[in-house]
Structure 1
């Protein structure tokens, strides 16, 4: 079967790596891909925002399955348009992708269907939002309603910080994504990432993971798209997994179906594990990045078979097997990220790092130019390793990081610290 994967980041490299192992695969195309993906698939310079062009490519190349990696095309309705053209596509429709595309939509859905989440208000004018902040007090969380590449969230420690965030977002700091904002209760607890494969009716829980959003060691500095992750997440006990499925994931599937927008694809719940149990922070409608990298390292089953099971609506008859080892990934980013950064610096040593046992280096923002590997984004490499536990996976990942010669890059050195503290306890 010929497959087209849409995307260009580390998540897509990990998905391409997993898909390429399927005995059902004939040819794998990736649009637009990156330098690492080009080593295992055929990268094509498609404008994925031009859905008609994507459909024409699929028909010309006998594509039998399209897998959509990032959230942007999903929210923009690429699944709807490809399905209308008769092309099997994995991911939610635009209506179902509102779970990520609009935080206000998700919050309202949770309120209507009793799904545990933070108390909130939705606002389009700053004075009303600021009045809400004063009634709630700080700390408090201010979020842009729309897609903001993981950066449209401010955890305000003071009322003044919240006011500044409100002015920034509603004043155009995040463009259309911030034309409406959600202001919500600050939840105390530990965050975890929970993934479920969904066919519109049934949700199949996948492995747990935990990521590190802050840019610097000790979880300091601004939020990013993610500086590293590990799987499984020790905080997610079997009881918490059961409660998450029963109280959050399954009720969401029922709610979306009841409201005429059944959800097929990957439902990614960002959770806060509070003293009262799991509560929903927000939904994403695709694999996480960098969580996909650690999940694909641990997945024992054929990813293609699982995707087809979701599209065929037969997940109730399926299960997923995982390697018992832990996986950990370290994001290497260009200096300056998540702010301004420079593109085009040369990266050496990736081959030596990837040659270490139980290590994969997934490319995120890279290109090859004149025979050299160069940085072409903010998050550039995902150095990923397996180990008997998180501590061993971390040691292997950082041993690989240390073989990479890239003076213009940086990474956190403490990925996995929460899990390692638990392992040592």
Structure 2
């Protein structure tokens, strides 16, 4: 059993070597080679992220049928892709030779000298109803990418941009949602290089995106790309809005200038009151100042009012005390002292009167109210007359007149 397995394995190895040798023999016999050359549509000046088209050329002698496909593109400084699966058949300039061409695309991410090291091709060689397959590599190709001092998102031409509303924007209110579509198309580029279409941030607006279309197309060897997105905007505040997509720039191949893609803006007016953020600080400061000024105004108004009432009450105190002393009415004097010093006990009132003569005079006058003898109070009233201003200043003012006089 083991011997059979070894025999089968040996036959497979011999068969593989036989096919490999046959493939190599046909390559040599029909002079089959692969090379890379710029396509005719390439421009003289090449830029970063520009679509660069190169032809992978398979050349061979007549008398053999060859099918081939691109297995790998050995380019390390950017993006590479096969333009299409279509193979172009051409007569070679060299008599007795044929050419087959497949176009590839290169998008370089760097400036300066660049090189496609090789393209790996899978071949199927057909001769006399027999076929054999194998792999060959093309020669390399060098090119130079120019440097440009301006920044841009992609390189292209025939750029078209639009923004279309799908919702009614009349009579909007807070919490409403509107829908619109943004689209961008360009030639000679790739969808992999065109940035996502996004809206500029707007205060009080939330954006939600849905990709409707995003693809590359090839028409007669020229690539075009299109991206189309639906945007839903939730309006979270009242006020005026200006909605616009984020800035996108591109290098125009035709003019070699960096240009900005201009979208139309969507102007909205949402009913309701709203203070923009840039004014809120000033509004807060104004509100705080208004509160402080109102408080100060109220405080000083009350202070002036109290001062006026005190002045008026003290004036009344003086006038009332002067009338009491003039009429020498002991009962009214007692009532005056009780009211102004907020006590019904002389022991409490008298210590508040610093002048000793005043104190003795008041004690003498108060004593006469409860005495059955006739006491001369002329000197005592005279003392009060002389010191009435001092006594009225010591007394607390009374702001109202509805306090009943005490009956002695």
Give the TM-score normalised by the residue count of structure 1.
0.16
Give the strand-richer structure, 1 or 2: 2
Larger radius of gyration: 2
Give the TM-score normalised by the residue count of structure 2.
0.17
Q: Which has the higher contact order (CA 8 A, sep 6+)?
A: 1
